[in-house]
Each structure stands twice: as C-alpha cells, then as structure tokens.
Amino acid sequence: MNVKFRAILISAIILIAMGAGFFLLTSQVLSSQFNALDAQMNQRDLQQVVKEVQRIYGEMTTLAKDWALWDESYTFLKGQNPTFTEENFHPQALRSISIDLVVLSDTGGLIRFAQRYDQESERYVPVTTSLQEYVGKEGAFWRWLDSRESTERLIVADGHVYFVTAVPVLRTSGEGPVAGLLLFGREINEQLLDQIRVNSGVAVEFYRYDEVPENYLPLPKGQWEGQNPLFRVSVSNDVMRGFYLLWGAGEQPLGVLVATLPRQIYLAGKNAIFFLLGGDGCCWSHCSPD
C-alpha cells in the first residue's frame, strides 16, 4: 500500500467518522427539540378537551342558576307550589337546552323531583336509583356548596353517567335561606362525545374509571394525586395517549376521557432530520479526497 493511498484512506475514515459523529449529535439535539415541541402541542390539544368540558359545565351552571334563583322554584321546595314542575319542566323546553337530568331536593334531603331523558323512548322518565349520596341531607353536593355558588361533578343515575352541576335554590332576589338544591345534567353519550371531538379537534373516548380497557392500564396514580387531571403516556413513536380524569362524588375519579394524540410534529421532524443530515452525509462522502 503506497503512501498516497494510505493517506487517502485515513482521510476518508476520518471524514466518515466526523460525519457520523456530527449526524448522531445533531440528530439527537434536533430530535429532542422536536419531541419537546410535539409534547407542547399535544398538551395544548389535551387542554382543548378540558376547555370543552368546562364549557359544558359552564353552560349548565348558567342555565341552572336561571332556574334556581327563582321564586317559583323556591316556593315549590317550600311545599307551596305543587304544580311547579308540571308547568315549567316541559320536555320540549328541557330538550331545547340539552338537559338530560333534572333533580330538585329540599334542605331535608327529600327529593321532590328527579327525571332523566331516556334515549330509547325519547321521553323523560323518573330516576329509579337512589341519589341520596349526592343530594341527601348529608350528600356530597351539600358539603361542597358550603363555600361555593355551584359545583360540578360526575354522577351515575340508572346506570348512566352525567356531567352535573348543582346550585342552591334561592329567591329571585338571591336572598335565602336556601330552600334546596337544583341539579342539571348532561349524559355522556356518543352524541355529546361527538360534540367534544368536533369542538376540540381531538379524538376522545369516555370510560368509567373502573372500566378502562386493560391495554390502557395501569394509570399512573402518582401523576394525579391532588386531583391533577391531566397526563400523557407514550404509546408508540406515532401516537401519544392523553388522559383527562373526571371526578365523581367521592375523592376518586369516576370517569376518564382518553384522547388519541398523533405525534405529527415529532414524525415530521424525524423525517426532516433524515433528509437533511442524510444529504449532508452524502456530501461528506463525496467530498473525500481523490
């Protein structure tokens, strides 16, 4: 092997090694940056789901206050207006404002009215399961309303899960004492999920917390202690999975919205790195001395 050929070979090896090192170092740095940006975008998408749920709660709370701060509701719970529900809770009116569950209870925990919308029969029917844990005298909503104008939680009634807001019933003037509670709810069904999907731009599914599919388990409890509702889990290089935990009447989640979050920015970045640095690698190989 002559000296010239040996020098060319050594130079080529050095250039290839330099190119490989540059590729690895640069690709790691860029991949990390794309990964961080992708995580930010996925978190933003997950926040859109949260905002949509908050909007649903907010709309129900506004509607519930309109009905709860009313002398007619107040006197009904005081036993002085027995025809109130017949005259005011018309099925057509409730459907027009997308309310699927209505509950009125007095301060003694007696439920004076409780109906839900049945999708199959397309009419409002009486709630048959007990709601005492929510609106009874020692119910959860009474405890929470001690320091709030309203409260929002998930509840289960007749096997259906609802977003529910509860507000105290007062006179139209806002004066008390409190006569009872009014609950408005929206059932978490495919129609409502489609609305969340369209308005948030995110593909979501709902599961009761104790019925989450096995392939989604285990949910990392440490990340939601203290009722932090959001976390993300990497499923593959292509997809992240986001979880929005929804609290029930107790101190545990009752449901979870599972969001599928494509890693579009990360994948686009990986492709860009490959073509960019792959092209540079070709340049390095063609720049070796003759």
Helix/strand/coil (H, E, C) string of the chain? CCHHHHHHHHHHHHHHHHHHHHHHHHHHHHHHHHHHHHHHHHHHHHHHHHHHHHHHHHHHHHHHHHHHECHHHHHHHCCCCCCHHHHHCCHHHHHHCCCCEEEEEECCCCEEEEEEEECCCCEEEECCCCCHHHHCCCCHHHHHCCCCCCEEEEEEECCEEEEEEEEEEECCCCCCCCCEEEEEEEECCHHHHHHHHHHHCCEEEEEEHHHCCHHHCCCCHHHCCCCCCEEEEECCCCEEEEEEEEECCCCCEEEEEEEEEECHHHHHHHHHHHHHHHHHHHHHHHCCCC
Write the pLDDT tens digit of every residue in 10-62. Answer: 555 555 655 555 555 555 555 565 556 666 777 888 889 999 999 999 999 99
What pLDDT is recorded for position 136? 84
For residue 183, is it within any domain? yes
pLDDT at 286: 47
Domain hosting residue 80, numbered range: 56-192
Write the pLDDT tens digit of every residue in 194-225.
999 999 999 999 999 889 888 887 765 545 54
- Reported as a pLDDT band with limits 50, 70 and 90, residue 277 is low
What is the model's pLDDT at position 139? 85
Residue at 49 is within a domain:
no
Which of 146, 166, 192 lies at the terminal end of a domain, its last residue?
A: 192
Domain boundary among 192, 210, 245: 192
Per-residue confidence at 226, pLDDT binned at 50, 70, 90? very low
Give the model confidence (pLDDT) of 56-100 as tens digits. Answer: 999 999 999 999 999 999 999 999 989 999 999 999 999 999 999
- CATH, residue 184: 3.30.450.20
Q: Is the pLDDT of residue 290 over 50?
A: no
pLDDT in tens, 101-128: 999 999 888 999 999 999 999 999 999 9
pLDDT single digits (tens) 168-181: 999 999 887 999 99
Mean confidence (pLDDT) of the chain: 80
Residue 241 maps to a domain: yes
